[in-house]
Amino acid sequence: MLIETGDLRMVYQVGATPVHALTGVAITVDHGEFVVITGASGSGKSTLLNLLGCLERPSGGWYRLEGKQVEALDDDQLSRFRNQKIGFVFQTFNLIPQYNVVENVELPLIYRGVEKGARRARSLKILEQVGLGDKIEHRPSELSGGEAQRVAIARALAVEPVLLLADEPTGNLDSRTGTGIMELFSDLNRQGATVILVTHSQEVAGYGRRTIEMRDGRIIHDSATGENQRC
Amino acid sequence: MLNLGDTIAMSVKGLVQHRLRTLLSTLGIIFGVAAVISMMSVGEGARRAAIAQIKLLGTNNIRIRELPLAGKELEKAGPRYGRGLTHDDASLLRQGIPVRSVTFAPLKISAADVRHGGRQGGANVIGTSPEYAAITDFRVAAGRFLSPLDLADNKTVCVLGAEIKEELFGRGDAIDAELRIGDGWYTVVGVMEPKQLYQGKTPILKLRNINRDVYVPINTALWRFPAGRDPFAINEIAIRVADERNILDVVRLAREVLDRQHRGVGDYEIIIPEELLAQARETQRLFNMVIGAIAGISLVVGGIGIMNIMLANVSERTREIGVRRAIGARQKDIMLQFLIETVLVCLAGGVIGILLGFAMGGLISLYAKWETAFSLAGVLAAFGTAAAVGIVFGLFPARRAARLDPVQALRL
Ligand SMILES: Nc1ncnc2c1ncn2[C@@H]1O[C@H](COP(=O)(O)OP(=O)(O)OP(=O)(O)O)[C@@H](O)[C@H]1O
Ligand SMILES: [Mg+2]
């Protein structure tokens, strides 16, 4: 099993009031799955994705990624873990403006300490794969939204992650461009990548092979089990 | 893991985004470093000036100079004891200092015109003894220096400095020529080698142009160029102490002898090479304090300015920091990146400051007539200071960047 969690909880302190963003999530995801998470705004989708992406530690519960107990890792180990296992794709692309396309893709490999020639070669290959082989010298500001998101996906793929996480990757794109991006995710999944994707759009959700719906920090429906968790 | 070269490359990329803002933020560093550099180059200039003069005087040499008294001091000393140096003093010193290998030469210096054929030139006529050449390491290029016999017989012979010889004789031979000094006739017995002069602008001692010296026997000078006030008045006594370690003893003995002879009247001064250096340092001290204070203040103010800019930089780039953290940058990687950015900004300011400092040093030597000199230590100190300011004031923004919560940073 790639992902196993039990009773995952996340509480944020806003002033004196605790905000319960996740109130007990149990989920398992296997290698090669394509999971789409939907739910109302504020239902905890991003919070869950960030936890699965090892960006922060849960307030309670447990999380094993490839059998490794994530909540026990310290900050440096979490960073290492993200660098080696996770590829993030964001709604707003989040490319680094002072870097050109290929430099953006190389960045995770720099943090991994991959030597210059090797990381350049790998980045160029991935850019070719996402259809941007001809734009490697462009600045992020010179790209269309769809192109920028392809670069972001290439950056996520650069480290050959075991898990590709995307938080509303088509949220800032028109529907035709969004379709292109979703087809790319589908392709990657067919080639073996495990994808977990958050979206509001029913159309986008249709690309998933498994759908999870959230409400108030809980999973209320999971198409894999077919059962509604306690509400 | 991330290597240093890549981190530096990242930092450089981060900086070039806001060139103007970054440059402006370094103004404090620029002026601080410029102040340090100009201070050091003035200091180095003064030190070199002192050393150059000491070399010219000879490191093993002591000079005793007359200090003309005036007004009240003269009245108090009385005419008998305010005479300044005399030829007798030189003889007394010779007898009164039983240290081995010490050589003495009296100097009586008068300005006079020297004439030969149709040509003439202004010269320093130096009445002295044969030892003077050895004391000062001046060498003759042709003929000989003054001899004991010249002295004993009050001969009217002279030895010409290179420049004055050139003026009167050109490339021709001067030995045995007869020429006029003031209103007497002299025979040339020697010509000196040209001597490299100290060209600096900051003489601690005013030195005459020795290439315009004309040496005559001391006794001859005493009767041919009477000083008016005292027939035996001389201007200077040059002393060479073969062994450097004896210098202070000789000075002490000389002072005893002269004070006894002069009844404690301070109408002479003893100049020791060491003291010249000390004097140079003293001249520097006040200047250094003022400039040092300015430099310190500019560096602190500059550092705070840079810290401000870097804090703004960090908050503008919060999202970038979040992304870097998400793709695997550790806190220390972020920390190092921003710290290096600050240090680079400061070093850039340092480079500009160094250039400005040299320009300022140039202006100082132009207008204040102070000597300035390039000092490697100054440049290194400036770089060190700039880097230190960068580290000290970069630490806080870098820490703030590193401590950002990745999730928060990405939400913004
Ligand atoms: N850092 C935080 N501090 C305080 N509250 C937070 C924080 N992060 C999330 N929350 C709260 O937790 C809840 C879940 O937020 P989350 O971002 O996971 O929702 P979401 O499902 O992604 O919503 P959206 O569809 O609008 O992106 C919300 O009520 C949100 O206000
Ligand atoms: Mg969200």
Say yes or no to pLDDT of B201 above 60: no
Tell me the best of A17, A19, A25, A36 to mutate to test the pocket of ligand 1, counting ligand atoms within 8 Å of each CB and taking the most. A19
Contact A157, A126 (CB under 8 A): yes
* Residue of A55, A76, A98 lying closest to B326 (CB–CB): A55
pLDDT tens profile A32-42 = 999 999 999 99
Smallest CA-to-CA distance from B307 within B341, B334, B283 is with B341
For residue B400, report the distance from its CA to the centre of ligand 2, in Å.
Answer: 25
Say yes or no to pLDDT of A13 above 60: yes
pLDDT tens profile B146-195 = 999 998 888 999 999 999 999 899 888 989 999 999 888 999 999 999 88
Bigger pLDDT: A147 vs B298: A147
Say yes or no to pLDDT of B314 above 60: yes
Q: What percentage of chain B carries pLDDT values higher than 90?
A: 31
Q: Is the CB of A98 less than 8 angstroms away from the CB of B328?
A: no
Q: Which of A46-50, B362-366, B367-371 has the lowest mean pLDDT?
A: B367-371
A47 → chain B, closest CA residue: B407
Phi, psi of B361, deg, nearest 5: -60, -40
Q: How far apart are CA A217 and CA A169, in angstroms?
A: 21
| Alpha helix segments (H runs only) across B213-330 | 218-224, 247-262, 273-316, 318-326
How high is the pLDDT of residue A48? 96
Q: How confident is the model at residue B82 (pLDDT cuts 50, 70, 90)?
A: low
Say yes or no to pLDDT of B95 above 60: yes
Tell me the best of B318, B404, B405, B407 to mutate to test the pocket of ligand 1, counting ligand atoms within 8 Å of each CB and taking the most. B407
* Residue of B2, B14, B328 lying closest to A82 (CB–CB): B328
How high is the pLDDT of residue B288? 76
Q: Is the CB of A159 less than 8 angstroms away from the CB of B13?
A: no
Kind and range of the H or E run holding B128: strand B119-128
For residue B312, report the distance from its CA to the centre of ligand 2, in Å.
Answer: 27
B411 → chain A, closest CA residue: A46
Q: How far apart are CA A47 and CA A55, in angstroms?
A: 10
Say yes or no to pLDDT of A230 above 50: no
Kind and range of the H or E run holding B184: strand B184-192
> Tokens 């006029």 belong to which residue?
B180
Q: How far apart are CA A39 and CA A200, in angstroms?
A: 7
**CB A21 less than 6 A from any atom of ligand 1:** yes
> What is the pairing mode between strands A218-222 and A210-215?
antiparallel
Smallest CA-to-CA distance from B105 within B149, B151, B74 is with B151
User: B27-57 and B331-367 are packed helices; what angle lies between their axes, rounded to 10 degrees?
Assistant: 50
Q: Is the CB of A108 less than 8 angstroms away from the CB of B328?
A: yes
Please report the number of interchain residue pairs, chain A to chain B, with beta-carbon separation below 8 angstroms. 74
How high is the pLDDT of residue B198? 62
How high is the pLDDT of residue B338? 94
Tokens representing B325?
């953290």
pLDDT tens profile A66-90 = 999 999 999 999 999 999 999 999 9
Distance between A222 CA and the closest CA of chain B, angstroms: 26
Q: How far apart are CA B189 and CA B197, in angstroms?
A: 24
Bigger pLDDT: B203 vs A183: A183
Instruction: Please provide the distance, in angstroms rounded to a whole number, between the alpha carbons at the two ends of chain A.
Output: 26
A99, A111, A139, A198: best to mutate for the B interface, most B CBs within 10 A: A111
How high is the pLDDT of residue B38? 83
**Taking the complete model, does pTM exceed 0.90, yes or no?**
no
Residues forming beta bridges with residue A35, ordered by sequence position: A196, A210
A157 → chain B, closest CA residue: B327
Residues near ion ligand 2 (CB < 5 Å) are A 46
pLDDT tens profile B396-412 = 999 999 999 999 999 87
Contacts of B406 in chain A (CB under 8 A): 55-56
B11 → chain A, closest CA residue: A98
Q: What is the mean pLDDT of residues B272-296?
A: 76
> What is the pairing mode between strands A86-89 and A163-167?
parallel
> Is the CB of A113 inside 8 Å of chain B's CB atoms?
yes
Q: Is the CB of B325 less than 8 angstroms away from the CB of A80?
A: no
Residues of B with CB under 8 A from a CB of A: 1-3, 6, 10, 13-14, 16-17, 319-320, 322-333, 405-407, 410
Nearest-CA residue for ligand 1 atom 26 is: A41
* Residue of B14, B322, B327 lying closest to A107 (CB–CB): B327
Q: How confident is the model at residue B204 (pLDDT cuts 50, 70, 90)?
A: low
How high is the pLDDT of residue B23? 78
Q: How confident is the model at residue B206 (pLDDT cuts 50, 70, 90)?
A: low
Smallest CA-to-CA distance from A225 within A64, A76, A27, A83 is with A27
Residues forming beta bridges with residue A19, ordered by sequence position: A12
pLDDT tens profile B315-334 = 999 999 999 999 999 999 99
Residues forming beta bridges with residue A25, ordered by sequence position: A8
> Is the CB of A98 inside 8 Å of chain B's CB atoms?
yes
Q: What is the mean pLDDT of residues A11-16?
A: 91
Say yes or no to pLDDT of A21 above 70: yes
How high is the pLDDT of residue B77? 66
> Is the CB of A203 inside 8 Å of chain B's CB atoms?
no
How high is the pLDDT of residue A231? 44
For residue A45, report the distance from its CA to the centre of ligand 2, in Å.
Answer: 6
Q: How far apart are CA A170 and CA A207, in angstroms?
A: 12
Contacts of B333 in chain A (CB under 8 A): 79, 111
> Is the CB of A48 inside 8 Å of chain B's CB atoms?
no
For residue A48, report the distance from its CA to the centre of ligand 1, in Å.
Answer: 10
Give residue limits of the domains in chain B: 4-54+278-411, 68-266
* Residue of B17, B319, B332 lying closest to A94 (CB–CB): B319
Q: Which of A46-60, A128-142, B41-55 has the lowest mean pLDDT?
A: B41-55
Q: What is the mean pLDDT of residues B326-352?
A: 93
Q: Is the CB of B333 less than 8 angstroms away from the CB of A111?
A: yes
Tokens representing B137?
């390491």
**CB A49 less than 6 A from any atom of ligand 1:** no
* Residue of B323, B324, B330 lying closest to A76 (CB–CB): B330
Contacts of A55 in chain B (CB under 8 A): 325-326, 406-407, 410
Distance between A227 CA and the closest CA of chain B, angstroms: 31
Ligand nearest to the backbone CA of A50? 1
Tokens representing B124?
């320093």
